Chain A
Amino acid sequence: DGGITQSPKYLFRKEGQNVTLSCEQNLNHDAMYWYRQDPGQGLRLIYYSQIVNDFQKGDIAEGYSVSREKKESFPLTVTSAQKNPTAFYLCASQGSIKLFFGSGTQLSVL
């Protein structure tokens, strides 16, 4: 089935550790996005990419990094510089107008 796959569903990070969240899409979409959601809040944009090998910072990019080496893949790394990483992370890709979301990754700190 066509869609967006995020993995893992749950992830735990130790202090000082970098962790990478995976996002893969087979919708042939050019644009992809990473959002962060905190409890009781809306989504906030971390990074986005409109084409391969190019990406832009969103509103809360500090402490995160991304790459876009393939059209299908847009991994997000939560670095040790992100002091409050516990949140629900959602990846999305964009069709003509609509966004299609993955099922999310819950990141927690050990």
Chain B
Amino acid sequence: GIQVEQSPPDLILQEGANSTLRCNFSDSVNNLQWFHQNPWGQLINLFYIPSGTKQNGRLSATTVATERYSLLYISSSQTTDSGVYFCAYNYGGSQGNLIFGKGTKLSVKP
């Protein structure tokens, strides 16, 4: 199957700093999603982004499908941004048939 690699695995930031998280996949994928899991386990969908760029407040995401990567950009980080960020792609059939990367664990210090 298609491999999904996320980098960096861990990231520590001071509040207010910017960061870029990366997701590489080993072959073409038909869509890509980014999720945030807070320290209590709640998972939230951030972006559905098969290609191009989307922005939502301080977060933005870019997927370059032809080069097999996606980036999640966090600006002016806040402590509430802490948690694990996952990228996942859909491997066909139902939209929830997702392959997840191992995640980037982000800690934002006050």
- Pairing of A with B: yes
Interface set of A (CB-CB < 8 Å, partner B): 31, 33, 40-45, 48, 50, 56, 58, 88, 90, 92, 94, 97-101, 103-104, 106
Whole-angstrom distance between the Cβ of B29 and the nearest chain A Cβ? 15
Contact B97 A58, beta carbon cutoff 8 Å: yes
Residues in B neighbouring A58, C-beta threshold 8 A: 97
Whole-angstrom distance between the Cβ of B3 and the nearest chain A Cβ? 12
A45-B97, A101-B44, A106-B41 known; 17 new pairs, CB 8 Å cut-off, are A31-B96, A33-B94, A40-B103, A43-B43, A43-B86, A43-B88, A43-B98, A43-B100, A45-B98, A56-B93, A92-B43, A97-B48, A98-B48, A99-B95, A99-B98, A100-B45, A104-B42
- Which of chain A's residues has its CB closest to B95's CB? A94
Provide the bound-state CA to CA distance between A26 and B60, in Å. 30
Given A31-B94, A50-B94, A103-B40, are A42 and B45 neighbors across the interface (CB < 8 Å)? no
Provide the bound-state CA to CA distance between A44 and B101, in Å. 10
Given A100-B45, A104-B41, are A41 and B102 neighbors across the interface (CB < 8 Å)? yes
Identify B94's interface contact among A48, A88, A100, A103, CB under 8 A.
A48
Interface 1/0 per residue, B80-102 and A, CB below 8 Å: 00000010100001111111111
Provide the bound-state CA to CA distance between A56 and B86, in Å. 24
- Selected A-B contacts with CB under 8 Å, 30 pairs: A31-B94, A31-B95, A31-B96, A33-B96, A40-B102, A40-B103, A41-B102, A41-B103, A42-B88, A42-B100, A42-B101, A42-B102, A43-B43, A45-B97, A48-B94, A48-B96, A56-B94, A58-B97, A90-B41, A92-B43, A97-B48, A98-B45, A98-B48, A99-B45, A99-B95, A99-B96, A103-B40, A103-B41, A103-B42, A106-B41
